[in-house]
Amino acid sequence: RRYGDDASCTCLTALMESYSTRSLTTADAATALTHLIELLSSVSGESTKSKLLTLSLTEILLEKLIIRLATDPALEERLGQCLFELLRITRSAQSADIFIAGQRCWIVVADRLAETLESGTEQMVTAATTAAQ
């Protein structure tokens, strides 16, 4: 399935709206990732405008969902596919704008995952300290 500029925007905007207003089930997250993977894998032949739009919406979607996606073992493979497609687009960028948009997505992913690791580490230290007392 190919996505054009309008379809890309519509698809990801609908995903963001539906998933940011309610708790995300594993099935919902899997559907979101499937759509995102299809979108990212089909954008290579599209215009620069389409690629930038796709990457901008991807950045927003990953910022909202990455914590949920990264903490669900059932979603690991799809999240990996999604990040692979994002890496492919970023590495094959023919313009600085596309490369920068791809890099912004990676920064969001790294920042959000770092936050998760920090809070998880704090919780483990607290639990270990409590157990030691």
Which alpha helices (H) appear in 21-132, and where do they start and end? 26-42, 48-70, 76-91, 96-132
pTM over 0.95: no
The tokens describing 99, both together, are 């490369």
What's the confidence (pLDDT) of residue 45?
77
Residue with tokens 């994002």: 86
Quick one: what percent of the chain has pLDDT higher than 70?
A: 79
Mean pLDDT, the chain, integer: 78
pLDDT at 19 over 50: yes
What's the burial of 58, exposed, middle or buried (CB within 10 Å: 0-12/13-18/19+)? Answer: buried
Q: Which residue has the higher pLDDT, 104 or 130?
A: 104
35 or 99, which is more confident? 99
Query: Picking from 15-29, 38-52, 117-131, which range would have the lowest pLDDT averaged per residue?
Result: 15-29
pLDDT of 96: 92
Model pLDDT for residues 55-99, shown as the tens digit of each residue: 888 888 888 777 777 777 888 888 889 889 999 998 888 889 999
**pLDDT at position 102 over 80:** yes
Instruction: Say whether pLDDT at 8 is over 70.
Output: no
